[in-house]
A and B are shown apart, each in its own frame.
Chain A
Amino acid sequence: MKIKIDHLSKIYKNGNKAVNDVTLDIDSGMFGLLGPNGAGKTTLMRILATLMTASSGDVKINDLDILNDRGAIRSMLGFLPQDFSSFPKLKTWEFLDYSAALAGIKLKKERMHLVDAMLDKVGLLEFRDRQAKKLSGGMKRRLGIAQALIGDPKILIVDEPTTGLDPEERIRFRNILSDMSRKEIVIILSTHIVGDISSTCKKMALLNKGSVAFNGTPDELIDLAREHVFRIEAFDSDLENIKANYPVISTIPSENGWDVEVVANKLGDYKGEIIEPNLEHAYMYFMEYLVEDETVKVY
Chain B
Amino acid sequence: MLSLYNITIIAKFELKTLLRSWFLRIFIVLSLAFLFMYDLVTITNVFKPFIPRSMYALPSSTPYINMVLFNLAQAVIAVFLSSDFFKRDRKLNTTEAIYIRSMSNSSYILGKAIGILFVFVILNVFVLVLTGTIHYFFGLSDVNIYAYFLYPLVISLPTLVFIIGLTFFLMGVIKNQAITFIILLGYIASAIFYLGPQIDPIFDYTTMWFPLMYSDFVGFGNEYEILIHRGLYLFAGIGLIFLTILMFKRLPQEDLIRKLSLPGTIISLIVVLFSIYSYILIPIERESLRTDIYTANYESSKIPRVTITDNTISLTHKKNHLECRSEIKFVNKNEESVTGYIFNLNPGLIVTSVTSKNKNIEFVNEKGLIRITPDKQLLSGNSDSLLIFYEGQIDENACYLDMDDERLDESKRQFVFGIKKRYSFLTENYVLLTNENQWYPNSGVKYLRNNPFSYKTNFINFKLNVTTDKNLNVLSQGTETKLNEYETSFNMSKPIPFISLIIGDYEKRSIKVDSVDYSLYTFEGHNYFDEYLNEVGDTLGTLIRELKNNYETKIGLEYKFNRLSLIEVPVQYTTYKRAWTVAQESGQPEMIFLTENGFNVEAADFKLYKQGQERFSDRSNQVILEKEKQGQMFNNFISSTLFDQSRNMRFRSQSDLQSAGNPFSIFPNYYSYVYKVSSDSYPLFNTLFEGYLKGDEDDSPFSRRRVMEAITPIEKAAISLSEKGIAAHLSDTLKKDILPDILDIKGDYLFNMLKGMISTEKLSSIINNILSNSPNSEIDLEVFHKKILEETSIDIYSMMDEWYNQNGLPGYLIEKIENYRFTEGNREKYQVRFTVTNPENVSGVIKTSFYAAGGRGGGRGGGRFGSFGGSGADEAISEQILLLGSKQTLEYGIVLDEEPRRMNINTILSLNLPLDIEKTFEEFEERKKVKPFIGSFPVEQGRLINSGEIIIDNEDSTFTFVNTSDRSMLKQLLDLGNDDEKYKGVRFWNPPNNWTATIHSDFYGKYIHSAHFIGGSDGSKSVSWNTEILSGGYYDVYAYISNALTFGRRGQNNSNTKYHYKIHNDDGVEDVEVEINNADKGWNLLGRYYFSEGNCKVELTDEGEGLIIADAIKWIAQ
Contact = CB atoms under 8 A, between A and B. Distances in A.
Given A70-B251, A90-B16, A99 B104 contact: no
Interface residues of B, number: 30
Contact of B6 (A99, A102, A144, A147): A102
B103 A87 contact: no
A229 interface: no
Contacts of A94: 13, 16
Contacts of B102: 71-72, 74-75, 77, 102-104
A83 interface: yes
B13 A53 contact: no
A116 B5 CA distance: 22
B20 interface: yes
A71 B252 CA distance: 9
B99 interface: yes
Contact of A71 (B21, B94, B97, B253): B253
A84 interface: yes
B93 A79 contact: no
Contacts of A81: 93-94, 96-97
Given A81-B96, A86-B92, A86-B93, A74 B101 contact: yes
A90 B98 contact: no
A70 B253 contact: yes
A50 B100 contact: yes
B91 interface: yes
A103 B6 CA distance: 10
A101 interface: yes
A89 B21 contact: yes
How extensive is the interface on chain A, given as a class?
A: 35 or more
A90 B17 contact: yes
A80 interface: yes
B378 interface: no
A228 B92 CA distance: 45
B9 interface: yes
Given A88-B88, A88-B92, A104-B102, A99 B13 contact: no
A74 B97 contact: no
Contacts of B97: 79-81, 84, 99, 144, 147-148
A77 B640 CA distance: 79
B555 interface: no
B93 A51 contact: no
Interface in B67-123: 88, 91-94, 96-104
B108 to A, nearest CB: 10
Contacts of B1073: none
A275 B2 CA distance: 60
Contacts of A148: 97
Nearest to A82: B93
Nearest to B10: A102
A101 B91 contact: no
A165 interface: no
B90 to A, nearest CB: 11
B172 to A, nearest CB: 18
Q: Output the residue of A46, A80, A81 with the most chain B CB within 10 A.
A: A81
A88 B17 CA distance: 7
A109 interface: no
A79 B98 CA distance: 9
Contact of B91 (A70, A86, A90, A95): A86
A102 B102 CA distance: 7
Nearest to B255: A71
A11 interface: no
A164 to B, nearest CB: 13
Contact of A102 (B93, B101, B255): B101
Interface in A148-195: 148
A23 interface: no
A84 B88 CA distance: 14
A141 B21 CA distance: 25
Nearest to A68: B254
A72 B9 CA distance: 19
A87 B94 contact: yes
Interface string A87-129: 1111000110011011110100000000000000000000000
Nearest to B85: A88
A173 B9 CA distance: 29
Contacts of B98: 98-99, 102
B255 to A, nearest CB: 8
Given A86-B91, A102-B6, A77 B251 contact: no
Contact of B101 (A72, A89, A90, A99): A99
B328 to A, nearest CB: 75
Interface string A189-218: 000000000000000000000000000000
B251 to A, nearest CB: 6
Interface string B601-627: 000000000000000000000000000
B104 to A, nearest CB: 7
A49 interface: yes
A126 B21 CA distance: 25
Contacts of A49: 96, 100
A1 interface: no
B1 A71 contact: yes
Given A51-B100, A79-B96, A84-B93, A98 B13 contact: yes
A251 interface: no
Contacts of A95: 94
A71 B93 contact: no
A52 interface: yes
A45 B699 CA distance: 84
Nearest to A87: B94
A148 B21 CA distance: 27
Interface string B252-270: 1111000000000000000
Interface in A46-70: 46, 49-53, 70
Interface in B263-293: none
A104 B13 CA distance: 15
B624 to A, nearest CB: 63
Nearest to A75: B102
Contacts of B9: 98, 101-102
A38 B5 CA distance: 39
A69 to B, nearest CB: 9
Contacts of B254: 70-71
A277 B536 CA distance: 113
Contacts of B255: 71
Q: Output the residue of B99, B102, B254, B255 with the most chain A CB within 10 A.
A: B102
B251 A50 contact: yes
Contacts of B253: 70-71, 74
B1110 to A, nearest CB: 63
Interface in B3-46: 5-6, 9-10, 13, 16-17, 20-21
A210 to B, nearest CB: 21
A85 interface: yes
A52 B96 CA distance: 11
Contacts of A99: 97-98, 101
B101 A51 contact: no
A53 B251 contact: yes
Given A70-B251, A71-B1, A106-B5, A83 B93 contact: yes
A49 B102 CA distance: 11
Interface of A: 46, 49-53, 70-72, 74-75, 77, 79-81, 83-90, 94-95, 98-99, 101-104, 106, 144, 147-148
Given A49-B96, A79-B97, A88-B88, 17 more contacts: A46-B96, A70-B251, A71-B255, A75-B102, A84-B93, A86-B91, A87-B94, A88-B13, A88-B92, A88-B94, A89-B20, A90-B13, A99-B97, A99-B101, A101-B13, A102-B98, A102-B101
22 contacts: A46-B96, A51-B100, A51-B250, A71-B102, A72-B102, A74-B103, A77-B100, A77-B101, A77-B102, A86-B92, A87-B94, A90-B13, A98-B13, A99-B98, A102-B9, A102-B101, A102-B103, A103-B101, A106-B5, A144-B94, A144-B97, A148-B97
User: Which 8 A/B pairs are nearest by Cβ-Cβ distance?
Assistant: A74-B102, A75-B102, A102-B101, A71-B253, A83-B93, A89-B20, A70-B253, A101-B9
